[in-house]
Chains A and B, each alone.
Chain A
Amino acid sequence: MITLLHLSLLLIAPILFLGIINRVKALWAGRRGAPLLQAAFEIGKLLRKGEVISKTTSFVFRLSPSLQIAAVIFAALLMPLPGRPALLYFPGDFVLFAYALGLAKFMLVAAAMDTGSSFEGMGASREMTFSTIVEPAFFLLLGSLALITGQTSFTAIFALLNYSAGYSVLVKALCSISLFIMLLVEGCRVPVDDPNTHLELTMIHEVMILDYSGPDLAFILYASSLKMVLIATLLANVLIPVSAGVAGGLLLFAGMLTLTAIGVGLVESLIARVRMTHVTQFIFLMTALAVTTFSAVIFFLSGGF
């Protein structure tokens, strides 16, 4: 029962997450904005449609969306909620988490290149370049968490994280900031990318899926927003104390997701998109934070304070 709740929470979240972000942006811009479930309507519509497929493409193009959504949902299975173990956990599962997302990315890029369009190639190469910076930082973050807690699986790490010593406040702060940056990068939001730009030259994620339509597009839309939700969930896991208990935990979790969504929306409304050449610096910010976190942890553990 509770497991079902857990799963459904994670699976519904993406819809609302998008909704909230857009709503926040609309409000900030002084419009009323689309209903919260707008994403659901769109996806439903797409699922009912047929497809247009480029003639240069191969089976890779057709396979890719299903693989992406499968991989991301699989990653979701590895994700614990505050006070709730993940549906599937074992030592080192975060490696699998990261690599499952990597698989999704591999298929996304391959499909984009399959169309032979130069714009999609552009987006693909940028996507890959950025993730070369994000990935090590992510592993360093989880490494430092594992180092504090002495645990090696998401569930255990987050279960213990909040019992450990006072410095974990600092660690948590650093972690959550860099996770938020990661959210922006992986979700292709401002300031890295602008999901509703119309100039292909500056697009990253959107340009890669230009040739998709129908169910495939639906899969991709859902997968990408679920990916954001997963990172947001990590954020929540870092911040929310376990002591809240199961029900409280879940409530706090929902609140936390909403807050993150609002944050994203605010960032999109307040900050301008960075120039493509400066994006890497922005992402390096996350790497720097991760390194700081790790070295701080080591410093503390070897009898710092």
Chain B
Amino acid sequence: MKLLLIGTVLFFSGGILELFIPRKQSGFVSAAAAALAQFFILPPVFQALTDGSTMSVSLDFSLPIGTAFLRLDPLAAFFCLIISIGGLLASIYSLGYMKMYRDRPYSLSSYYFFLGLLFTAMLLVTVVQNLLLFMIVWEIMSLASYFLVIFEHDKEEVRRAGLYYLIAMQIGAAFLLTAFAWAATLTGSLDFTALAGVLSMPGSASTIIFLLFFAGFGFKAGFLPLHTWLPLAHPAAPTSVSAVMSGVMIKTGIYGILRIILLGGIPHASLAYVIFGIALLTGIFGVMNAIVQHDLKKLLAYHSIENIGIIGIGIGLGMLGMVYRQEGVALCGLLGGLLHVFNHFSFKSLLFYGAGVVYAKTHTREIDKLGGLIHSLPITATLFLVGSLAISGMPLFSGFISEFAIYTGLVRSLAPGGAILNIAVGCGLAGLAFIGVMAVLCFTKVFSICFLGLPRVPHQEKLSEGSALLLAPMVALGILIVCIGLVPLLVLPLLKNVVAQFVPGIVATEWEQMMSLFRRLSLAMAVLAGLIIFFLVLRRLLLTGKPVRIFKTWGCGYQVESSRMSYTASSFAAPFVHLVAPFVPREREVMPPQGLFPQEARYKRHYADFIAYYMIDPLSSLLSRFLGLFTWMQTGRTQQYILYGLVFLVMLLVWIMLMPS
């Protein structure tokens, strides 16, 4: 445990040191610190994960915080693992990525400082077990990420997005604050262990508190309808930061929800259904909006929402299993959810890093302005393809394993009787399939439009591949993804103790059954891989000595081949968007050609977020209009000011007179 803290401090001190390092050499220290930190963080983490032990250390603060316990149990260890590795990769990637800002008026030192601070805060969030201290590190985490988001602070839209993000985090924190304060008044203790008593109380209070917690953490995780900050903050941030935020940081929200479930159990059975349903909607909504996006990073942000939904489905399924005492289902659900947390970290970071390379080379995030990059950035393209296959849950890649676990859980929970449960599970099955196939649609679109086909913008052919510093983290992640995809048993044993925390009744046989299933699965994967190799070899053999001509694409009679004619992202998505039109409000700006000899005409269309469009914006404008009702007061007339006081006084006196004494 001490080791872990040392590692945590290392991240921070790396950030501190960066403040004193000249611009040219910035970044190396924090990268070194991050690398060094791994040696301190990983051993206790792996120990906790393997033997399920719980290490703890107590810090004595003065009141109102009081004594704060830092505990490292398997659950915390699992998230520490992700955060720590993510930290290392991010700081290496930043080395290469932030180069392009060297000659721009941005403070790199503060960037690295806040990066270190962010990782420190996240690590602490997972281990702190004291309500107040938790809130403190939680807020520091939000704050540090805010400063990272507004790195390019001279852009108006970046500042606006940053403020939006910070406000969203504040609202989430307000929910948590209320829940914590309520719990603290009920128990009189600030330690997490006291929460158990609160959440298991009879009556509605426990349910309300649970929902408050869910809302508070849901803001960070990005569950519907609390997700609206994600698609704004991610494009605004530097790509290295977006990767961290969506790969690592939003998972702390998941951690929070899991922690609450672990502490207090589920106060009311309906809550399991609520979370399951919300998660399902989140997943469908996220990917549906991703399909219509043209901004590469915004699209990836929506995919984070989708994957949070999938994780949520897993957790909700686990909760259902816990409620209905079906250990097997709970096991599958939680296992799938947790594994998907890890997988989403790996492939989403990979994808964002890939997008970062693309942005660094082409300086655009518009998918429709990209194309044919696979010829100039082969490695990036290949890794991006791996990420795309993984996030679409294709077999052979990690994404499939976790989704498979969730599917298995869903199917296993189908049982005669319990119509409600069956209906829920049926929706889950169909919904998850829907999510999966929409993800395929979206990523065939992204990958093909960005990397395949013809370049749409001149001189995108002669770009140089990203530097080794940029590629190294991506390669590492790619290998990780394929390994998990082929041999899931590499990571699954690590999750045993985490799941065991939730389902103490999980008997060895259950787990063994599960593992054998995955052994069969990886056998199948091996067969599939074998087949693929077989046919590749076969193809090569067949083509040996045969003429292979390189010729232009068959243009169906058109002789001119130009990228202007080839399909764009919008046209690729169009038929599907037509299906879901009511759920993606579209905003147009049209400038029709005018006059006999029109100089210019423009047509611009973008899709708004359903929730933001129909729910958040109206509410906020309502609030501001309400507050606007009071702004006539400050007229600058002394007499009027005195009149306020006079009226107030008279009202008081009358009230006192009429009050029964």
Contacts and interface: CB of A to CB of B under 8 A. Distances in A.
A71 B536 contact: no
Given A92-B404, A116-B566, A280-B579, A50 B552 contact: no
B339 interface: no
Interface in A131-162: 131-133, 135-140, 143-144, 146-147, 150, 152
B551 A129 contact: no
B556 to A, nearest CB: 5
Interface string A219-244: 10000000000000000000000000
Contact of B441 (A49, A57, A119, A128): A128
Contacts of A25: none
Contacts, number: 269
A117 B553 contact: yes
A169 interface: no
Interface residues of A, number: 80
B429 interface: yes
Interface in A67-115: 67, 69-71, 73-74, 77-78, 88, 90-93, 95-96, 98-100, 102-103, 105-106, 109-110, 113-115
A294 B535 CA distance: 39
Contacts of A47: 542
A135 B433 CA distance: 6
B565 interface: yes
A96 B404 contact: yes
Contacts of B532: 66-67, 70-71
B566 A117 contact: yes
A240 B657 CA distance: 91
B554 interface: yes
A118 B535 contact: no
Given A103-B395, A116-B563, A210-B556, A219 B374 contact: no
A294 B414 CA distance: 11
Contacts of B573: 125
Contacts of A121: 448, 453, 566-567, 571-572
A117 B554 contact: yes
B575 interface: yes
A65 B539 contact: yes
B401 to A, nearest CB: 11
Given A60-B374, A302-B419, A54 B553 contact: yes
Contact of A116 (B400, B433, B454, B539): B454
Interface string B576-590: 100100000000000
Contacts of A302: 416-419
Interface in B582-618: none
Interface of A: 47, 49-58, 60, 63, 65-67, 69-71, 73-74, 77-78, 88, 90-93, 95-96, 98-100, 102-103, 105-106, 109-110, 113-119, 121-122, 124-126, 128-129, 131-133, 135-140, 143-144, 146-147, 150, 152, 200, 210-211, 214-216, 219, 280, 294, 298, 301-302
12 contacts: A50-B543, A52-B548, A92-B407, A103-B394, A110-B447, A110-B452, A136-B434, A139-B429, A143-B414, A146-B414, A215-B543, A302-B417
Interface of B: 371-372, 374-375, 378, 381, 385, 389, 392-396, 400, 403-404, 407-408, 410-412, 414-419, 422-423, 425-426, 429-434, 436-438, 440-441, 443-445, 447-449, 451-454, 517, 520-521, 523-524, 527-528, 531-532, 534-536, 538-539, 542-543, 546-556, 561, 563, 565-567, 571-576, 579
Given A66-B539, A88-B527, 18 more contacts: A51-B549, A67-B532, A70-B532, A71-B395, A74-B524, A74-B527, A96-B524, A100-B528, A103-B394, A106-B389, A114-B453, A116-B566, A117-B554, A121-B572, A152-B412, A200-B556, A301-B417, A301-B419
